[in-house]
Each structure stands twice: as C-alpha cells, then as structure tokens.
Structure 1
C-alpha cells in the first residue's frame, strides 16, 4: 500500500527487529549504528504500537523541529504523562499555553544577573563538600557529584530553610521515584507489570511525600515573613502578567520539584564526564591549572566564571562528547514536511543529540577531546545543543554552566583526580549517565 508521505530511509527486516529489541537497553549503540547504516535521518515503525518514529542527527532537521516550526511539536506523552503523574505540571512536563505561561513567569529568575547572586551559596556548599577529601583514598566521583549537585540545588532554592536530614530524605525519595519512572519511559509495556505489583502506586505515594516536604518548606518561609535572596523567594514573588496573581501552591511545589530533579541530575552527570576527560588528557589539565593560577584572586568571581575561558571550553567539549541530554523527543501535532521528507501527525521525532555532537559532517576528529575547538569564532553556529534549542532551551543553562565552572576551578586549584578507568561505561536512561567514576584524589602539593 502506497503512503502519501515520503519518510526518510526505513529501518526494516532483521535490522528493525534488532533495533527494537536491543534498543531497549543499548539505545546509543543501536541508534548510532542505524545512522551509520542509512544516513543522518531514518524512519522506523514500531511493530507493537504501530507508531511512526523518525530519528535525526542532522543539524538543519533538528533546528527545523526545535526552532523554525516548534509550534507544531509537543513533548511526547513519555514526558507529559508518564513523568507528569509523578512530577506534576511544571516546565519539564508541560505543553502549549500552560507551558508558555509558566516559562514567561519563571524565566527572569534564571537570567545571568539573578544567577550571580547565588554564587556565594554555591561556594559554601562546594567548600564544605571538598573538606571531606582524603588524599590518596579511593572515591567514586559520580556519587560524590550527585550529592554535591543536589545540596547546591537545595540551598539555592531554600537557603537555610532546609536541614541536612530533609535534604537527604528528599534525595532518597527523588532517586527512588526516578528509578521507577525511568523504567516506564524506556519500557512502556513494562508499566503494566509495575501496575500489577502496585509499584506505580507506591511511587506516586513517594512523589506525594516529596511534595509534602516542599510544601512544608514553603509554609515555613511564608510564616517567617523573611525575605531571602534565593530561588524560592523569586518563585513566591513572581506574578502572572494578565492577572497579577502569584502561582498557586500546587504549581509552586511542582516547579520546585522539577527544579530539584533537572537541577542536579544532568549537572552531576556532566561533571562526571568532565572530570573523566580531564583525567585522560594531562595537557588539558595542565592548561586548566595554568589558567586558574593566572586568574589569581579573580578566579572565582561570577564575571570571570561566565566569560569565555579554557575552563568553559573543557566543559563544552566534555558535554559534546557525552551530552547528558542525549536525545530530545517531540510529537507532531499536524502533518509536516522538511526538504524532501514528509510525515503525518502523531509521528514521534527523536532528535539524536549524541549523534549530532559526533557527526563527522560537522566535527573534525569528532571522537577526540579538543577543548580548543570552541575558541573558533564560529563556535556559536556549531552543531551543538547540550541544553536543547529554541523556545524550550533549558532554563537552567546559565545556572549549570556557572556551577560546573566553579566546581572545576575550585577542585583543580587544590587537587588532581587520578581515574582508575580508561574507558567510561555509560547508561542512556532519561539522561546519559556514567555507571561510576572511580579513582583517587591527590593534593596538588603531593
């Protein structure tokens, strides 16, 4: 039967069966293999759901979906419904007018000027965490960075209104909720099994407990009458343009829960990748330490952290090679076309960011760690989207970049990391994460 649509080259036969089965646990290997086989765009029809999927690692196609015709695309049910039942209707899970309304409301709180005010809180948490280092002792930096990033988000959101026990409880709950929701996202049919055994209901109860904790912190702040220079104050004080009313408590809690998850997960993963790459590239580490030394007393100032530097180049290059946001999904609201291709409404578009970032069409020596490539005056036009693109560009980009630059500089000013691993095993779930990053920390003086 002829179709009125002109899809990209199709993955079918044995390759399709292999893709659908192995893709569940090894998506990077399968998607990369398919692109190598048929090109930068390909099509596959899921046999079980009869759903159409288009995968792309083509810069122009990706920009068309995320920028030029973004209004025709929503985040898929994977995020809006599967994750939404745990996280509520915050920026990460929302779509359409509701999303735009929230984005416009919250965006000002994450501009560069506002983020600068949070640097002192970040410094305090980083210094406290680094005090635990024992030179020569084995450490798993992946777990260390997860705890540090979570604590930074907690303190920048809530200042001193949250104690360590509360932070630990929230961290435990959110980790457990993510483990179950990840299985639902990656294996949709598996949710029926989870439902039968009551695991989804238990997960929803845990999510409600995390929201109750956040509501308690919100009530405490309101009752205190205090004003603090943190993200919670910003969220409480914002007003909708049309009504001049504040966010409801439910909306506030949903947004704070999502900031917790998005604000620590991808940053912790990215830091692990950054430190791994530095550990494998002694010349880059030497150049980084020289920059830290040359900056002297200006090295940790907010202006210095956010300007173009070798530190920033290292972060960008590590995120190119190992982008935590390894893929972006969208669903077509109406029939659409781009260049010679066309597809019907309901088609799932998977924008393969990991493939784009290593596509030899756009990158010279794509698998090599070369931070200096971002010195190029055309770097702004690179095929590079670790934080997404278009109207849904990650709202926390400036926050994350400043936090990572501060951690990298504070660490390498005093320490060096010797990795036990020469190869980094990675797992592609909702985000791309390492399995571990084990090694030892030495003091620069030893």
Structure 2
C-alpha cells in the first residue's frame, strides 16, 4: 500500500539515536550533520511523542513556509506553548488573529521615522559605555554588549532607568529560562524529570519576577503622568480597532518582556559575533575606518546609518555566518506539500537558517567572512533570512540594524579590538550566542 504522505529522506537507526542524544548539547553540529547525510530537507520521527519533524535548509522550502503559504503555518507549540508559559502571549509566541491584532498595534512604534528619533539616545548610551575604556582594556565583549543593548532598549523603547543590578537579574533570568526551555524541547521525555525536580516551577517564578519588574516600570510611568512619546506611551494609549479598549496590563507586560528579550539579546549576540569577525580580518577593519572617515559629520545621522554601506555589509555578513535566529519553527494547520514532498496536519517544520546561510548551493565560499558579497546588485534575492521573512518578519529589523551600525562606527572611530581566540564557541538556545568574546580593547 502506497503511503499517503511522501516525507523527505528519513533519519533512522543509529544516526537518529545520535541526533536525539547529541542534539541536546550541540544542535548545530547535529542538524548540519543530518543535512550532509540526507540533503537539504530531511524527516525525523520522535519516538517518545510520535511527532513528525521536517528540517530544511532549502531556499524554496523556506520561502514557501514563510511567504507563499504562510497562512497554513502557525508558530509551533514549541514556542506558543512551551516558551509561552514563561514569556506569555507577546508577538514572539502568539498566533492567528491575536498575533495580527498585536502586530498592528505595535508596528507604528517601529517605523523608520520613529526609529530615526532614537539615534540621539542610542549615541548617548554608547558614548557613556565607551568612556569606561582606558588605553588598553581587557574585556569580554559578550557581557559588555548585553549590558549596553539592554540599557539601550530600556532607554529608547521605554524611557526607563534600570539599575545595573536589575539589568543583571533580568539577563540572568532570561538565560536560565532559555536553558530549561532548550532541554524541554530537545528532550521531551525529560520534562517530567524537570517537573519533579521543581526546575520548571523555579523557571516560572523567574518569569514572574521578570514580569513584576516590568510591571513596576509600567506603574511608574502611569503614576508620573509624564508623556514620553516613546513606545511604552504608544502601547498604553493605543486601542483595539474592534472594541476601542486598551491592552490589559498582563498583555502590556508580555509585550514589554518580548521586546526586551528580542530587542537586546539578538542585537548583543550579533554585535559580539561581528566584532569577533572584524578582529579576524584586518582588511575589513581598515576598509571600515576609511568609510567612517569619509562619512565625516554624517556618520551618525539616521540617513547614513540606515543606508546601504560597508558598515551594513559587515553586519549582514556576520549575521549570515552567525544568525542569532538560527532556526525558525512552524506547525502545519492542514495537510500540505511542496514539489515531491507532502506531510500531514500537525507536522513540525524546522527551517534551519544557519544551514541555509552556509549552503554551498547558494553561497560561494560559504564559511568565509566576505562583507563585499553584499555589494552584489542581486543581494535582495540571496538565500538570506536573519530576521525571518513574510508577515512575521522581525518587527525590530530597522531598529537593530541602525543600533548596530552606530555602535560599530562609534567604537572603531576610537578603538580596536584584539580577540584572544581564533574560533568562537557557540551556544544555540532560543537564540544563537557566543559563550564569550574575550580580548583586549586598544585606544587608537
């Protein structure tokens, strides 16, 4: 009897067992290895949950799921349920009409005009952070950029002063939540163990504590009576089209938490990777400095920061090699198929962005850092999705690119960074991050 569905090549036997075990500690190596064995798309069936997964690093497949037939795919229960119990129902975890309503409410706060008004704040916070560097300073840039990016989000989006201890507590909570979440997703049978040990309950308490901190920011704003004209003001005063009611405090805090996480973590990770790559390429640093000199007084204007430039090429190439959003998950609402493949309703789709960005089918010298490749007039059509694609394209893309361009130009107009390592150790949780980027900063 002919099977009803035609999955891509299945990962079975010893390789499947290896994938299930090694995938917990090293998902990038495991998934990349499976693609080398099975091709650009493969299928794996989870024994313990009887769920079917399709992994793909094929450009046509990725575009089909995220663009052409996006209405048939929700964020999977991996994020909407498992991650949602920690982060709530914000843009990252929500689905369907609820997600669309929230997106429409928040989108105006990330228009290019709104973002352009934030340049001065980003510049001030960056200057303040860079003042701590002497003639030579030993540093872990990963920690530095997390602190800086967190402060920038607090000041730009919520006009809030958060003390250093609170920043550290929120950052620590977010990291620990991701660690537990990763174990729940990659070892579903281990979830019961985590429950019995009380680890999940402790994680939920960390989430509640983080939300309480954000609620206090919200309360202070309301009690102050001040109008800041920032994203938080917009969220407080905005009304749903159908009911003319405002967002509940619970929804507001959920959105604030998501924006804090997405707004600081992915940017901090991307900057850490970018500075490492520049440290490995003297010719890139020299070319960057020439652009900074040529831009003169214009280099920190919104127009200069947002336009196509060598600075933006560096960021794009770094995010190609080390995309913080290393995978995108979806779940089929109905039976579906593409070309020779077909799959049933409920199938989990894992779009492996890291693999797509290094796929030799689409990229020459895929593992090399070559910012100039983005000078290509066809760059818009590259197999390149660091911010996702389709209706769920990252709402903060322009904000993140502008912020990173400003930080890079500010730093390299006065300093150099010499990394102590030639290779980075990476950790793939909800986002891809380096474990550290240690080195020495030298004032020029």
Mapping for residues 82-231 of structure 1, pairs under 5 Å = 82-231=82-231
Q: Are 1:338 and 2:348 matched, yes or no?
A: no
**What secondary structure does 1:24 align onto?**
helix
Change (3 A) 1:245 1:78: same
**What secondary structure does 1:23 align onto?**
helix
The equivalent residue for 2:15 is 15
Task: Report if the CA contact (8 A) 2:332-2:346 is conserved.
Answer: yes
RMSD of equivalent CA atoms: 1.4
Separation in 2, partners of 1:192, 1:269 = 31
Q: CA deviation at 1:229?
A: 2.9
The equivalent residue for 1:415 is 415
Using the size of structure 2 for normalisation, the TM-score is 0.97
Task: Report if the CA contact (8 A) 2:23-2:186 is conserved.
Answer: no
What are the Cα deviations for residues 10-44 of structure 1, in whole angstroms up to 9, with x where unaligned? 12222222222212211111211121222111111
Q: Are 1:281 and 2:281 matched, yes or no?
A: yes
Separation in 1, partners of 2:322, 2:130 = 25
The equivalent residue for 1:432 is 432
What are the Cα deviations for residues 202-221 of structure 1, in whole angstroms up to 9, with x where unaligned? 22122112212211221221
Change (3 A) 1:168 1:425: closer
The equivalent residue for 1:271 is 271
Separation in 2, partners of 1:215, 1:87 = 14
Runs of 5+ consecutive residues of structure 1 not aligned to the other structure: none
**What secondary structure does 1:292 align onto?**
helix
Separation in 2, partners of 1:104, 1:431 = 25
What are the Cα deviations for residues 247-306 of structure 1, in whole angstroms up to 9, with x where unaligned? 111111110011111111111111111001100010010000010011111111111100
Separation in 1, partners of 2:17, 2:309 = 46
Separation in 1, partners of 2:86, 2:314 = 35
Separation in 1, partners of 2:432, 2:165 = 28
Q: CA deviation at 1:172?
A: 3.6
Separation in 2, partners of 1:351, 1:440 = 37
What are the Cα deviations for residues 75-98 of structure 1, in whole angstroms up to 9, with x where unaligned? 111111111111111001101111
Using the size of structure 1 for normalisation, the TM-score is 0.96
The equivalent residue for 2:396 is 396
Runs of 5+ consecutive residues of structure 2 not aligned to the other structure: none
Separation in 2, partners of 1:48, 1:27 = 19
Task: Report if the CA contact (8 A) 2:160-2:217 is conserved.
Answer: no
The equivalent residue for 1:58 is 58
Q: CA deviation at 1:438?
A: 0.7
Q: CA deviation at 1:184?
A: 2.4
Aligned length in residues: 444
The equivalent residue for 1:32 is 32
What are the Cα deviations for residues 140-179 of structure 1, in whole angstroms up to 9, with x where unaligned? 1111111111111111232145444443443343333333
**What secondary structure does 1:189 align onto?**
helix
What are the Cα deviations for residues 333-354 of structure 1, in whole angstroms up to 9, with x where unaligned? 1110101110011111110101
Change (3 A) 1:311 1:134: same
Separation in 2, partners of 1:152, 1:192 = 38
The equivalent residue for 1:352 is 352
Q: CA deviation at 1:116?
A: 1.0
**What secondary structure does 1:43 align onto?**
strand
Change (3 A) 1:425 1:160: closer
Separation in 1, partners of 2:203, 2:20 = 27
Change (3 A) 1:15 1:171: closer
Change (3 A) 1:135 1:3: farther
